[in-house]
Structure 1
Amino acid sequence: MNEDARSRAARYRLEPGADTAGPDETEDDAPPPRRLPEDQTLWVDQQIRAAMARGEFDDLPLAGKPLPHIDTAAEPDWWLKRFIERENITGVLPEALQLRKDDAVLRDVLDTLRSERAVREAVEEFNRRIVAARRQLQGGPPVVTQLRDIEVEAAAWHQRRAARARERLAADPSEPTGPGPIRRAWDRLRRRG
């Protein structure tokens, strides 16, 4: 690099007071210094070399390996798909498609809940989302997910819960059946209040 190029590249460094005007100059009177594209290229090269000297590029994921081939003509949004996979991003589907996914796993989600009240609230929230998606005017795929009947879902939840309890009892007969004394006392207190 010759001396003229170095001096042009040095103009890009930020120095204290370099951007302030002199005592008899105002900001309107002094035009900013003209920068050439070559100067910026030199400055960028200096920054990259300095980062390499500090070792900031040593632990990159593909260090020492060839870059993977990407057919951009066949897959124009390849970078977006890779970003979603790498960052494990979920919930970016249109609401109609997200509702279909959530509908497929709703039974499993309900089975993780511990009370009938929580099951009813979860089904109500799911139904609210369906109604809100049907009202939207933003376009996208149509909402074909059906509303869930809260009473039917609560009854099915009780049946699945009882079936799991029977399976646990069959696997381990020494396990106590029915709610324990603390649970029975809690249920009595809830019925009073």
Structure 2
Amino acid sequence: MSEDPSDEESPQRLNSLEDRNAVVESALDRAIKRGDFDDLPGLGKPLTGLHGSSDPDWWIKQKMDSEGINGVAPAAFQLRKENAVLEDTVDAFTEESDVRDYLAGFNARVREAVMDLREGPPVFTPPRDVENEVAAWRRRRNAKKNDSVTEAEPGDQPVDPESVGSPRRWWHRFRR
């Protein structure tokens, strides 16, 4: 046999539906014999969402739920959802400047959504007062620090109140 590509057979043209089905079936049979379909996730489980849904977009909604995709709803819904978890989001920050930046961005998104009358439902989410929210963040943070200090057992070493609540950075270890 020669290595010349012109000697190889050209690909078959599949002119009829039966020819195409035969090629697909043989490819599936070979894959099954190789074990390509063994141990697939969801093996033996029913397919969800196929029956009983009159919504034509059921599949994209199911995919968005399974992937945790959000952010494609109208601004009113996004802001309402963000407003509901705002305290938890703000409590995750360790610096006051980060809290102020986040609140400024939130308020800007609220104002922008209120001014944009082109689409979506009306926005009822109010902007947050930055000073009041920062003060509440400080109170929650101090309460969390005090709770963690009082939970220490009597035989424990004294705890530095500044180090409670935030992890110690690796470069601070070398300073002492």
TM-score by length of 1: 0.65
- Distance of aligned partners of 1:137 and 1:49 in 2 relative to their CA distance in 1, 3 Å threshold: farther
Q: Runs ≥4 in structure 1, deviation > 6 angstroms?
A: none
Superposition map of 1:17-36 within 5 A: 18=10, 35-36=15-16
2:82 aligned with 1:114: no
| Displacement of 1:121 | 0.3
Aligned residue pairs, count: 153
Q: Structure 2 length normalisation: TM-score? A: 0.70
Report 1:126-165 matches (<5 A).
126-165=106-145
Q: How many Å apart are 1:122 and its aligned residue?
A: 0.6
Structure 1 residues 65 and 159, CA gap change in structure 2 (3 angstroms): closer
Q: Aligned partners of 2:161, 2:44: CA distance in 1, in Å?
A: 62
* 1:37 aligned partner: 17
The one of 20, 30, 34 equivalent to 1:54 is 34
Identity of aligned residues (%): 39
State the SS of the aligned residue for 1:143. Answer: coil
The alpha carbon displacement at 1:78 in A equals 3.1
Q: Which residue of 1 aligns with 2:161?
A: 177
In structure 2, relative to structure 1, the CA distance for the partners of 1:160 and 1:63 (3 Å cut) is closer
Structure 1: which 5+ runs fail to align? Answer: 1-14, 20-32, 181-193
Q: Letter of the aligned partner of 2:160 in structure 1?
A: P
The 8 Å contact of residues 72 and 78 in structure 1, kept in 2 or not, is answered as: no
